[in-house]
Amino acid sequence: MSALQVVEILLLAGCLLLAVWLVVLWLRRRALAAHGPVCPCALRLPGSPRWRLGLLRMGAQHLDWFSVGGLTTSPSKSWGREGLEISTPAPGSVSLPGLDTALAVTLTREGGHLADLAIEPKIYPAVRSWLESAPPGHNVNVT
C-alpha cells in the first residue's frame, strides 16, 4: 500500500467521523427540542470570567442549560422555575462567537446569584414571560 493510499484512507475516515459527529449533534438538538423550546445562549457561573456556549430550554418546571458540544440529553445545569428571577439586561451587548448580539442577564433566587446568561435580544422577552407565568398545574383550583 502506497503512502498516497494511506493518506486517502485517513482523509476518508476523518470526513466520515466529522459527518457522524454532525448527525449526532443534529439528532441531540432535535431530542432536546422535543421537550420544550430551545435557544442558543451562553452561561457564566459565579466567580468565573469565562462564558460557555450552550442551549437553553424552557421546560414545564425547569430552566435547563445544555453544553453545545455534549452528547448527553440531560442538562448540565438546571434551575427550578419557582422563585427563579431574571434581571433586566445589562447596558450594552456581549460579543461572543456563536451569538450575534447577546444581552447579559442574571439569574437569581431569593437574593442568591445563580448564573449569568447571554441570550439574544429576541429571546429575552420569551424567557422573562416564561418565568413570570404560572407553571402548568399551579393554582388550578383557584376560585
Let me know: does 101 contact 119? Beta carbons within 8 Å: no
Let me know: does 105 contact 116? Beta carbons within 8 Å: yes
Tell me the per-residue pLDDT of 10-59, one tens digit each, with 9 for 90 and over. 999 999 999 999 999 889 888 888 888 888 999 999 988 999 999 999 98
pLDDT reported for residue 135? 64
Domain borders along the chain are 35-132
pLDDT reported for residue 37? 86
User: What CATH fold (topology level) applies to the domain 35-132?
Assistant: PH-domain like (2.30.29)
- pLDDT for residue 9 is more than 90: yes
3-state helix, strand, coil in the chain (%, to 5): 30, 35, 40
Tell me the per-residue pLDDT of 71-126, one tens digit each, with 9 for 90 and over. 888 899 999 888 889 999 888 778 888 787 889 999 998 878 999 999 998 999 99
Nearest Cα residue to 105 out of 62, 43, 56, 49: 43
116 vs 139 pLDDT, higher one: 116
Decide: helix, strand or coil at residue 26. Answer: helix
Task: Count other Cβ atoms within 10 Å, centred on residue 57.
Answer: 20
Q: What is the pTM of this model?
A: 0.80
- Residue with the three cell numbers 500500500: 1
